[in-house]
Amino acid sequence: MSTVIGHDIKAAAEILRAGELVAIPTETVYGLAGNALNEDAVIKIFKAKERPFFDPLIAHTYSIDQIRKYVTEIPARLLPLMERYMPGPLTVLLPRQNIIPDIVTSGLERAAFRIPQHEVAQELLRSIDFPLAAPSANPFGYISPTTAQHVYAQMRDKVPYILDGGECRVGIESTIVGMEGDTIMVYRLGGLALEEIQALAGEVQVAASSSSDPSAPGMLTSHYAPRKPLVIGDIPTLIRQYQGKKIAVISFAESYDVPYQYILSLGGSIDEAAKRLFAAMREMDATDADVIIAKDLPEGGLGRAVNDRLKRASHPL
């Protein structure tokens, strides 16, 4: 299979109608998309990514009214969040109708739904009459792609078409929420900051950030990882610890005397750091460094989500 990068939304829609896969842009990361109602298409996603079948997928559509077609109810406490942040980097877990195949949800009774804000994804979704299952367009466990070129570099010959929508604006995956009893749970920290959710919905509970038996997409313990060992801690201490090794550093705003470095935000912007995190991992992974060193960001805003990704990409000291 030869892979084409292009801007033809009609061609992408035809490929999806035929039960094949298309890599699509969203504001968070690029997704590897297939018809969520077509079990054969969904199986192709798992195979292309080499993703375990027990890790559920997110279904993408273009409106809350469309989501209503595939669920049995929308809890009243989640509706204000959906109305405010959909379209956007928010995913909701909702009790599904049987039209959503078990393979999409890994047999769970709830399905994950998202409405991407990216204008190309919106136009594509409005041109088809089915939702798209679309995990990140990367080999399972590796760094998520934020450009069409990232997808091509790691998924060429596994997907016929990559719909190019430019660089992703947010750069980390969506925040996933759902209900347990009367409590709003945050199952995955992501592109919607916890403070924004709390400002609208009140106190919420954050679930454990990893699981070997996930109840929501993106909860596996090891994920988003470069091939080289990535170690998290105090950067000057780690540089001394790995003296004699060729070191690559991913820093928030500080500069260090090392062979390779990627500064996430010279101006100290956490949003910019989040947008550039996966590109930084990818660039440092492409060097001949022996080890990649990074430090947690401040916890406010998207810093929590960045730190979650760093933790799951890292190797123990």
pLDDT at position 217 is: 73
pLDDT at position 165 is: 98
- What CATH code would you report for 4-169? 3.90.870.10
H/E stretch holding 198? helix 194-201
Q: Please, are residues 211 and 176 in contact by the beta-carbon 8 Å criterion?
A: no
- Cα 77 to Cα 182, 190, 289: the distances in Å are 8, 20, 48
Cα 63 from Cα 59, distance rounded (Å): 12
- Phi, psi (deg, nearest 5) at residue 131: -75, 160
Ranges of each domain in the chain: 4-169, 230-313
- Paired with 161 in beta bridges are 4, 22
**CATH architecture of the domain with residue range 230-313:** 3-Layer(aba) Sandwich (3.40)
pLDDT at position 215 is: 67
Residue 114: count of CB within 10 angstroms of its CB = 29
- Cα 307 to Cα 140, 214, 222, 233, 260: the distances in Å are 20, 19, 13, 11, 21
- pLDDT tens by residue, the chain, 317 residues: 799 999 999 999 999 999 999 999 999 999 999 999 999 999 999 999 988 888 899 999 999 999 999 999 999 999 999 999 999 999 999 999 999 999 999 899 999 999 999 999 999 999 999 999 999 999 988 999 999 999 999 999 999 999 999 999 999 999 999 999 999 999 999 999 999 999 999 999 998 755 545 566 765 555 677 889 999 999 999 999 999 999 999 999 999 999 999 999 999 999 999 999 999 999 999 999 999 999 999 988 999 999 988 998 886 65
Q: Quote the Cα angle for 44-50-56, to 5°.
A: 75
pLDDT at position 52 is: 83
pLDDT at position 212 is: 46
